[in-house]
Amino acid sequence: MTVAVSTIAERSLRRLGVSIVPLDDSPTMTEMVPAATIATAALVELGVVASDETPSATDQALAVDKVASVHAALDAQGVVWWDGTAMPRAFCEEYVKLCANVMASSFGRAADPANQALLEARVRKGAMTISGHDIATEAVMAVHADLVARGWARWSSLDIPDAAAMPYEMLAAYELAPKFGVQANANDVVQAQRALASIIALPTSGERVPAEYF
């Protein structure tokens, strides 16, 4: 039996507690919230208008401009992949509060720099988690390339033996941990290398390993 790189990537994220729900069971997030809607919500957040009121054209224009600035700041940090016309529903509240914080002084309110950093960190973490599977897949492939370079892997990335799946998972998780702000476990590397050493020390039967592709 063999294990797909995608499966190992998913397991490595679950090992870190980054992505608990299996990829097949995770709903696809497709809803986008227009920038104008976020701008209006930010004015409500500041108390400039009530939730049942329509902001003035000048206030709305200012708020829309602040949303664009907030998005540009996140984009400049390499955090977001969506454009500034609409934001994923998952980050709507963060955008609203960031926009409200940025334009607070324009309406005589006090801004909160500490809250600004916290909100940006939440967007960064969320965006990383959504992209987590692609990042984890790259980590698994990097682990495989390293093992091939050291002459440890007798197999290709398309037919990783089931016995080697756990060591791959542990090594990939170790590489991924800093990216997701998780404490890396050096003991995992030691255990994984021992397990791989035991696997490659076994003599080959000479039979081909059947691969399963889905």
Q: What is the rounded average pLDDT of the residues 86-108? A: 93
Q: Would 214 be classed as within a structural domain?
A: no
Q: Would 150 be classed as within a structural domain?
A: yes
- CA 141 – CA 147 distance, rounded (Å): 10
Q: Give the total residue count for the chain.
A: 214
pLDDT of residue 112: 84
* Total domain count, the chain: 2
User: Looking at the predicted structure, is the pLDDT value of residue 136 above 90?
Assistant: yes
pLDDT band at 6 (very low <50, low <70, confident <90, very high): very high
Residues 51 and 115 in one domain: yes
* Verdict on whether the full-model pTM lies above 0.75: no
Contact, 87 vs 71, CB < 8 A? yes
Q: Would 172 be classed as within a structural domain?
A: yes
CA angle 57, 62, 67 (to 5 degrees): 125
Secondary structure percentages of the chain, helix, strand, coil, to 5: 65, 5, 30
Q: Would 102 be classed as within a structural domain?
A: yes
pLDDT of residue 125: 87
pLDDT digits (tens, 9 = 90+) for 40-77: 999 999 999 999 999 999 999 999 999 999 999 999 99
Span of 5-14, 27-36, 144-153 with lowest mean pLDDT: 27-36
Domain that holds residue 195: 2-24+132-201
Task: Identify the CA nearest to 98 among candidates 128, 120, 72.
Answer: 120
- CA 63 – CA 42 distance, rounded (Å): 7
Contact, 15 vs 169, CB < 8 A? yes
